[in-house]
Structure 1
Amino acid sequence: MYKIKNNIFAASCVASILFIAITTLGLSLATLPLYISESLGYSAFYVGLVVAAESLSTLFSRAAAGRYSDNHGPQKGMVLGLSLTLLAGLFCLFSFSFIDSAIVAYSVIIFSRVLMGIGESLIFTCSGTWPIGLVGREHAGKIMSWVGIAMFLGLALGNYAGTWSYYHSGIIISATAMAVLPALGFLLVAIVKPVAIHPEKNKAKLSYAIHRIWKAGSGFSLANIGYATITTFLVLYFNQNNWGGQAALALSLFGMGYVVSRLTLGWKADSSGLKLTLFSIAIEASGLLLIAFSSHPYVAMLGSFLTGFGLSMIYPLLALPALKSMPDENIGLALSTYESCFDIGLLVAGLAGGGIVSLFGYPAVFIFAFLCCLLASISSILAYKQISNGDPKLMREKASLN
C-alpha cells in the first residue's frame, strides 16, 4: 500500500486524523449536556458526572496508552483509539434512537463515555508521538502547536455543529456523525508510515514519570479547568440568561481564539518559555472573569475568545519541560503522563463544577476556573525552574535508565 514519503506531510496527516477524532469529541461535548438536561431531565450535577466518567476512563488509561505507543508503535495505537471512538458513537446513536427510559439511556451514555475516554487517550498520545517520531524531537514544541490547532479546530467545528444541529435538525444527525467520522480516520492511518520503536529500552516506571512531570502537569491541569468549564457549562449558562441562540457562536469563538493564538504565537513554542506561559495564563484568567460577570452575551463571547486565546499556548509551553524531563525512548509515557493532567482538569471541573453550579449558580463556576488559573501560574514557575541550568538531578536519572 502507498505510504507518504515526505515526513512533514505525513505529520500533517496525523494531525488531520486528530482533527477528525476531536470533531467527534466536540460533537459529543456540545450535544450530550443539552440532551441530558433537556431531553432526559437531569440536573447539571448529572451532566458533570458524564464528563467525569469520560475523564476518569481517559485518565486511568493514559499510562497504558503511552506504553502501547512506545512498545507497539503509534500507528497501531491510533487504529485502536479510532475503533473505540467509533464504538462510542454507535452506542450514543443507539441510545438516542431506540431507548425510551431515561435511566437506561443515561447508563448507555455513561458507558459510551468510558469507551470514548480510552479511545481519546490513545488518539491524543499517538497524535504526539507519531509526528515527533517522523519529524524529530527537537521540533516537539512546533508539533504540539500543530496538534493543538487540529484539536481545537475540531472542537470548534464539533461544538458549533453539535449545538446548531441539536436545535435545528435534532440530535440524531450529530450522533450519526459521531459514528461515521472515526471511520474516515482509518483511511489516513493507512497511508502514513510507522516509526521505529525500541521496546527493550522502555524501562521507566509510571511513578518516575509522575515524579518528573507533576509540576508541568499540574499547571496544565489547572489551566484546563477553564476549558472544561467552557465546554460543559457555557451553553447552559447562555440558556439560563436567555441567550441560547448565541451559544453556538460563543463556543466557536473559544475555538477561534485558540487557533488565532497558535497561528500567531505557535512558531515561538520551542524558543519561548515562562514569560509567554504566564502571559497566556493571565489572558485565560481575564476571559473567565469576563464570562462570570457578564451582563450581555457579547461580553461573555469576548470572554470565551480570550479564554481560548490564553489557553492555547499553555499546552505546548508546559509540554516542553515535561518532555525534557524524560528519556527520549520514553516519549510515549512522558506525553501520556503529561496529557493525563488534562483529564484531571476535566474531572475536577466535572465534579466540582456540577456541585458549584447546583449550590451557587453558573457565574460561580467560572470564578472557580479563574482561581485555578492563578494556581496554574505557580506550577508553571516551578516547572521551568526544574529544567533550568540543565537540572543535574535529571541528568543522573536519565543516565541510570540507559
Structure 2
Amino acid sequence: MNAVLRIKNDLVAASMVASILFLALVSLGLSLAVLPLYVNKTLGYSAFYVGLVVAIESISTLLSRAYAGRFSDNHGPRKGMVLGLTLTFSAGILCYLSFALLPATILTYVIICFSRILMGVGESLIFTCSGTWPIGLVGREHAGKIMSWVGIAMFLGLAAGNYVGAWSYYSVGIVYAALFMSLSPVIGFVFVAVVRPVDVHPERSEIKLAYAISRIWKSGSGFSLANIGYAAITAFLVLYFVESGWREEAAFSLSLFGVGYVCARLTLGWRADSSGLKMTLFSLLIEAVGLLLIGLATSPQQAMIGAFLTGFGLSMVYPLLALPALKSLPDKNIGLALSTYESCFDIGILIAGIIGGSIVSWFGYESIFIFSFFCCLLAMASTVLAFRQLEDEQMEPAAAV
C-alpha cells in the first residue's frame, strides 16, 4: 500500500524533494530572524553573543558537510533527509520549550546554542540530500536543472522564513515563532513518504575527503568567491543605504536583489545542463558589474540597479559550477561531491564575515562591494580552471580509445 501512495512521475517527485528543502529553509529563516532579536532584546546580550549564535550554526554546517555527503552515498538520500528533518525539528522544539518554559537566563542561551548545532547538522543533510535525491530520480544528466530548483527552493524558503519570523516576533510573540519553526520540517515528512527512494551503492565509499577536495577545489573556490558578494549584499546593503541617506529605498533595494536572483533561475535555469564555461563567466561578469555599481553608486537608483544585477548574475553560479564539481567524482560518490562543493558556500560566508567587517570598519560600506567585485574576478579564473579540468578528463577516455 505504501508503494501505491508514492508518486510515479520522477519529475514531480523531484519537485517534491525541492519542496522539502523549502520547508526546512523556512524553519532556518525563522530562526535567523527571531534568535538575534531574542538574544539581544530579551536576554540583553551584546552583538558578540548574537554573532556567536549565528556563527555556531555556520560552523556546525561546514564541519558536517562531509558527513552528510557520505551518509547520503552509503545509506541513501531518503534516510539522510529523514535524519536532517528530525534534527531540524529537534532544534525548533528546543527553542520552543526554552521560550515557553524557561526564564531568560544563561541556561536558555546555552540551549539555544546547542539547538544551532543540531540545526547546522540537519541543514547539511537536507541540503545534500535535496540534490542527490532528485539527481537519483531523474538522472545525472539533469543535474544542472536540479541545482536550479534547489536554489529557488532555498532562496524562497529563507525569504519566507525571515518574513514570518519577523512578523511573528512582533505580532504574536516569539513562542509562536518557535512553534512555526518546529512544525515546518514536520510537514516535510509527508513529502518524504510519497517520494520513492533511489538505489544505494552497496559498497561503502572509501574516497578520502582530502581527495574530494583536491578534485573539487577549482569549482568550489569559484563558488566561494562569488558568494562573498551574496554575503556583502545581505549583511551590508541596507546599512550602506542608511548611511548614504537613502533609508527609504533600502528595503526595496534588497528586494531587487531577490527579484534578480529568481528571474535568472526562471529564465536561464532550463539551460543549466547545456551551458558551460561561457554562461558561467557571463554570470560572474554580471554579478561583478552589479557589485561595482553599488560600490561606486552616487544615487540610490544606481545602487538598486546594481543589486538587481548582482542577484541575477549570482543566481546561476551555483548550478553551473556544480556540474564540473559533480563530474569530478564517480556516481557512487555524488553525495560527497555535492557536500564538498556546498561547503564552499559556508566558507564564502565566513570569509565575508571575518574580512568584510574589518574592511567596512577601515574603509566604509562601499569598500566591501568593491572587494566583492574583485572576488568575482578571481572566481572567473577558478571557473576557467574548473571547466578546463573537466575537458581534460573527458578527452582522456577518448585518447585511450
TM-score bracket, shorter-length normalisation:
0.7 to 0.9
Compared with structure 1, are the counterparts of its residues 26 and 374 closer, same or farther at alpha carbon in structure 2 (3 Å cutoff)?
farther
Q: Which residue of 2 aligns with 1:400?
A: none
Q: Which residue of 2 aligns with 1:128?
A: 131
Cα distance in 2 for partners of 1:296, 1:103 equals 45
Compared with structure 1, are the counterparts of its residues 234 and 109 closer, same or farther at alpha carbon in structure 2 (3 Å cutoff)?
farther
TM, length-normalised to structure 2: 0.88
The structural deviation recorded for 1:305 is 2.5
Q: Which residue of 1 aligns with 2:203?
A: 200
* Residue number among 143, 146, 150 corresponding to 2:146 in the alignment: 143
Cα distance in 1 for partners of 2:167, 2:333 equals 42
* Residue number among 279, 287, 291 corresponding to 1:288 in the alignment: 291
**Bigger mean CA offset, 167-176 vs 129-138:** 167-176
Contact 2:74–2:204 under 8 Å retained in 1: no
1:19 aligns with 2:17: no
1:307 aligns with 2:310: yes
Compared with structure 1, are the counterparts of its residues 21 and 252 closer, same or farther at alpha carbon in structure 2 (3 Å cutoff)?
farther
State the Cα deviation string for residues 76-104 of structure 1 (Å, max 9, x = none).
10011111112222334455556665755
Cα distance in 2 for partners of 1:138, 1:61 equals 27
**Bigger mean CA offset, 162-171 vs 218-227:** 162-171
Q: Which residue of 2 aligns with 1:115?
A: 118
| Counterpart residue identity of residue 306, structure 2 | G
Contact 2:287–2:311 under 8 Å retained in 1: yes
State the Cα deviation string for residues 195-233 of structure 1 (Å, max 9, x = none).
110131633221211111000011111111222233334
TM, length-normalised to structure 1: 0.87
Q: Which residue of 1 aligns with 2:53?
A: 50
Cα distance in 1 for partners of 2:93, 2:243 equals 31
**Bigger mean CA offset, 64-73 vs 356-365:** 356-365
Q: Which residue of 2 aligns with 1:375?
A: 378
Matched pairs, number: 395
5+ unaligned residues in a row in structure 2: which ranges?
none
Contact 1:164–1:248 under 8 Å retained in 2: no
Compared with structure 1, are the counterparts of its residues 260 and 68 closer, same or farther at alpha carbon in structure 2 (3 Å cutoff)?
same
SS class of match (2:206):
coil
Contact 1:22–1:151 under 8 Å retained in 2: yes
Compared with structure 1, are the counterparts of its residues 241 and 179 closer, same or farther at alpha carbon in structure 2 (3 Å cutoff)?
farther
1:221 aligns with 2:221: no
1:259 aligns with 2:234: no
Compared with structure 1, are the counterparts of its residues 89 and 295 closer, same or farther at alpha carbon in structure 2 (3 Å cutoff)?
farther
1:158 aligns with 2:178: no
Identical counterparts, % of pairs: 68
Compared with structure 1, are the counterparts of its residues 294 and 101 closer, same or farther at alpha carbon in structure 2 (3 Å cutoff)?
farther
Q: Which residue of 1 aligns with 2:352?
A: 349
Compared with structure 1, are the counterparts of its residues 40 and 247 closer, same or farther at alpha carbon in structure 2 (3 Å cutoff)?
farther
Compared with structure 1, are the counterparts of its residues 243 and 109 closer, same or farther at alpha carbon in structure 2 (3 Å cutoff)?
farther
**Bigger mean CA offset, 31-40 vs 112-121:** 31-40
Cα distance in 1 for partners of 2:252, 2:173 equals 18
The alignment's C-alpha RMSD in Å is 2.9
Compared with structure 1, are the counterparts of its residues 188 and 350 closer, same or farther at alpha carbon in structure 2 (3 Å cutoff)?
same
Cα distance in 2 for partners of 1:105, 1:363 equals 38
**Bigger mean CA offset, 112-121 vs 301-310:** 301-310
**Bigger mean CA offset, 226-235 vs 130-139:** 226-235
Compared with structure 1, are the counterparts of its residues 344 and 245 closer, same or farther at alpha carbon in structure 2 (3 Å cutoff)?
same
| Counterpart residue identity of residue 365, structure 1 | I
Compared with structure 1, are the counterparts of its residues 378 and 170 closer, same or farther at alpha carbon in structure 2 (3 Å cutoff)?
farther
Contact 2:42–2:104 under 8 Å retained in 1: no
Contact 1:215–1:382 under 8 Å retained in 2: yes
SS class of match (2:197):
coil
Q: 1:382-401 alignment to 2 at 5 Å?
A: 382-391=385-394
**Bigger mean CA offset, 263-272 vs 241-250:** 241-250
The structural deviation recorded for 1:109 is 3.7
State the Cα deviation string for residues 137-195 of structure 1 (Å, max 9, x = none).
11111111111121112223223433455555555544332222111111111111101
Cα distance in 1 for partners of 2:201, 2:84 equals 21
Cα distance in 2 for partners of 1:16, 1:156 equals 14
Compared with structure 1, are the counterparts of its residues 65 and 383 closer, same or farther at alpha carbon in structure 2 (3 Å cutoff)?
same
State the Cα deviation string for residues 79-134 of structure 1 (Å, max 9, x = none).
11111112222334455556665755554443332221111100010001100111
